[in-house]
Structure 1
Amino acid sequence: MASDQALRDLILASNPIGYYPLDEVAYLGHDLSALANHGSQSGSFNQQSKSLSGMDLVMTKPGSAGLMVIPDRAEYRGGTITIEMVVADVGDSNTVWLERGSLGRNFGVQNISSSQQPGIQPSISGFIGSAANTVRQAGAHKLPSLAHVVMLFDSGQLRVATNRFLLDGSTVVGTSTQGDAGNTPIHVFSRSGAINADGYMAHLAIYNRGLTKEEISARGELLFGDISMKPLPCAMTIGNEETAEQCAPPIDPQGQPLYPALPITPSLAAYDAMMMIIPDGRSRPMGYIENLVTVNGEGVSRRVLCLDQAGNLVADTRSSASGVYRFDNLWLERRYMLIAQDDPEYGPADYNAVAADYQKPTPYPPINR
């Protein structure tokens, strides 16, 4: 078997307040962190070996009343907690992976079932302090069969990184004030021996701070390889078969005001947002471009630029959380280039910008009056 020692070294270098590889079924509660806060276990457990980027991981799933109990410590009671774990075969069920206490008063991680929030399975989420109703909308959703997950709870907010990719936004999932000050152990694999976790888990680490983007990227590079941007050869390709005059017909202003007074005639009764008055008094049909920005097949919020064929910036926007963006009031007879950028405001990007050239706007539907 290929050793998972490199992953252990990265986790230990981040100084967790609890680290449980969960690879030896007789010693699941053995804490490798400097605190050596060893836990106890009861019930039965099942194990499987999973391979991730050539690294073999022994993973554990609770069997009958499977429960591991981690003794309480002062380090577990703050308003900032990070949970790192590798999960596999996450099921569609409302079950508990771990929880401090058992009343939803402190912090915990659980599956989100389709009966709670359909369309996001397989999914895990969590809370800190008294759980908020938004806990089902936050978390790691549509997980692959094997995933590395980091969940950062800070001031009642949750941020998630799945397989190295850190989500942009955060969601309020709790009050951030834990209800129990002391003597409240952490239950792992279930809630007090019931509601067993539906899936396999390994390399459970707990921190009383947030992991940095660099620490998360280091784990991603180890588990999934380097995705740093590399230079690509560029060549010019003629993509616009129209002449310059056809693509952007010249306009000869004749001194009229920008919005000249128009006579009221029956032909103007249909004037609306589909047309635009230009300086020489004529009107031109307008349209829109709408599309989706995705990363690994999932819609994401990113900055999108719209340029004309001469390279001039026409407009910019940001796609919604589901990845949808739209540019309105574009000339139908012109063609546009759309560029999606990968979070330049947050520093070095994970992906090159993606461009779609020579895009034709969609006409607005006619308005019945």
Structure 2
Amino acid sequence: MKAASRYFLGNGKHIPCFAHTIHLVVDDSVKEIASFCSILDKVKKIVMHFKHSPALMDELRKAQADEGIPEGCIKTLQQSVDTRWNSCLEMLVSFLSLANKVAIILIKRSEKVKGLPEMLSTDELSTCKDFCSLLNPFKDATEKISGEKYVTVSMVIPLISLLLKKMQIAKVESADGILAQDSLHKQLEKRCKPLELNKVLVKSSFLDPRFKKMYISPIGVQEATKDILQELITFTEEKRISDDENSDDQGDSLEKAHNRSIVKVDGSENRELKMYLSLPQTSWESNPIMFWSSYKAAMPGLSKLALRYLTTPGSSVPSERLASAIKCVVCDSRSRMTDTHITERVFLISSNSKYWS
């Protein structure tokens, strides 16, 4: 992927998938702690045993129904998938929410059935709770960076900074939890800190009105400002040449001639950058694309440059999601489908649900 990016886009344009980076951080941290791996194996065995036993699952549902929980709100155990680290977290969360009922069911069944999986001890349950509290921010970051209907590339550097802060202030009680906290922090430093030097990510965050200079190092701000000014100068020069070629001085109105003269002498690229930095930062929920669309007239060069950077995806999840959609609509038994039919079916499945109502 990196070689392909260099070949088609040039040097320094490759952006690693941040969702995959998070996966590596969590996966490496979990593997470092052997005792927690054994706890995970015990949880997997319990969940798998319940999943393969309709009688146990019926007892689990009945135990919740007896407490007055309505049918639609009854919880179930979730199995983890090796290729998705967050499925491991979901398994732990579902297991902890039903741990008391699972323990009672296993104790009752152990009197009649041999070979049942061993229930976790109190200390092991405490370790699981610590891991869930530590991994929740990573799950949140993964979900945020995996979106496809909003800007994600500018979130990478802010999310790294926020995750590091979360790991510093997290409160854990178990010994394994403390080891995990330290390991996650080290893996973040190792795998994510280099991303803070990626010029595309730095400039994307800088040009996002929600973040600007907030999460970028002082050196990064200086380099980003220098690069952006240079790109603005190049854009302005290209625009001037285009305007000169297309303009008719004889037919221009006085207003047009005046405005063109201002562009030539004003140094507008520096003025635009100063105007942008003087504006207040927007909230996380705001839309940076809408922001730049509204300021297109006031900052034409910077607006065009910002949209060029902000439309870059921060992860490969949207493309992988589309690949999964293609696999669903183009099954192996449909060998005579043409490329046109495939394109139409993929378009239909990727269309927003509101258009089907």
TM-score band (shorter)? under 0.3
The TM-score normalised by the length of structure 1 is: 0.25
The TM-score normalised by the length of structure 2 is: 0.26
Q: Tell me which protein shows more helix as a share of its residues.
A: 2
Q: Tell me which protein shows more strand as a share of its residues.
A: 1
